[in-house]
Structure 1
């Protein structure tokens, strides 16, 4: 069992590997095989450009600026945006900014195909709004169409939990996340953690 989240040692950060706990991934022999994977051309480029982007933008640049910097460092000029219909306005602004800064952008909405939820076996009572036509989210379709457009880097904007998993699974291009879905916390899911010892304590620990 790996328990990095509960570890207070953090020898991985200091480099003092002689002080690692027994179950620390740092001392696992698998690390040698993992390091070999970073020597593969595509992986090395992504890792190298990620490290440069982190260092140059650290506490200075927004997530959006860092995505643009990362894409430029990797030589990616054709970007894809997979977005939720509930964030259509934000998607339009995002695409306008990316295009303004020299990128070619393809965008695909989650409701592409307009496939009714009944296709998945969803009953009327299980819909968000029973009694209405509700198309299912189609993240596989988003991935397929962005693959068809031959995008070099795909950006997730507000896909639902699970739908994002399917999109990542079927995307040919590397995927990065600009924003995630959290309708209750204004798309700031970390808010639940910051309130975990206060306002949300009973809600989060009594399920």
Structure 2
């Protein structure tokens, strides 16, 4: 690999300087801040504007400055919504976390914000209807509805949500939801069935109990067969 190729393969995860935060050191040769100088200026203008990106950026920065280390993420999402002047807050919830979503909605309403919750199984489309073999269901032989994040987003779009909050959507379903959501979307709870919805624990224990995450050959084998071919 040439020196230019090595430089191109490096990014922020290989940086030990982190000068982009305090600007008190020298940037490394592969620094993206240096490489994207023109884009830096364009994004600065974006965030100083009165458009939605500017409003989101300033509200987020204000929350960090005013409450750093003092608020839980639950409280931060509500303060964030209040700073934006949100009147309608949509909640896209996993069916398995509907109890948590219901409590969250109740707390949000105490701030004078209207809520609407839509669970992932809305529409009740069986997984086999989208081409998944019955053997790959969690419970083969049963009706097992697939998650429907596109419909979750549509319901909240039709309702006129100013901001949407994700509560435990699965990996991938969160991507579909954010693609279809007209309103900005933030995450309150991240789904991790194994670690009690604390996915960072796999990183913190990667050198000890969860050494397997550093060796892809030790990952559990998936079920078979793969998706049906049309």
TM-score by length of 2: 0.86
Unaligned runs of 5+ in 2: 1-7, 217-230
Provide the aligned length of Structure 1 versus Structure 2: 205
State the distance in 2 between where 1:100 and 1:10 align: 40
1:148 aligns with 2:148: no
1:64 aligns with 2:74: yes
1:11 aligns with 2:19: yes
Q: How far off its partner does 1:39 sit?
A: 3.5
Q: Counterpart of 1:206? A: 215
Q: How far off its partner does 1:33 sit?
A: 2.2
**Residues 88-147 of structure 1: CA distance to partner in whole angstroms, max 9, x if unpaired?**
111111111111221100110000000111121001111111111100000000000000
State the distance in 1 between where 2:99 and 2:76 align: 21
Q: Please point out which of 146, 170, 186 is paired with 1:160.
A: 170
Q: Counterpart of 2:91? A: 81
CA RMSD in angstroms, aligned pairs only: 1.2
Q: Counterpart of 2:192? A: 182
Q: Counterpart of 2:121? A: 111
State the distance in 2 between where 1:52 and 1:83 align: 27
State the distance in 2 between where 1:92 and 1:10 align: 40
Query: Equivalent residue of 1:177, what SS?
Result: strand
Worse overlay, 20-29 or 150-159: 20-29
Asked whether the 8 Å contact 2:92–2:152 carries over to 1, the reply is yes
Larger radius of gyration: 2
Asked whether the 8 Å contact 2:92–2:166 carries over to 1, the reply is yes
**Residues 62-95 of structure 1: CA distance to partner in whole angstroms, max 9, x if unpaired?**
1111111111111112100000000011111111
Q: Counterpart of 2:223? A: none
State the distance in 1 between where 2:111 and 2:40 align: 39
1:193 aligns with 2:200: no
Runs of 4+ in 1 over 4 A off after TM superposition: none
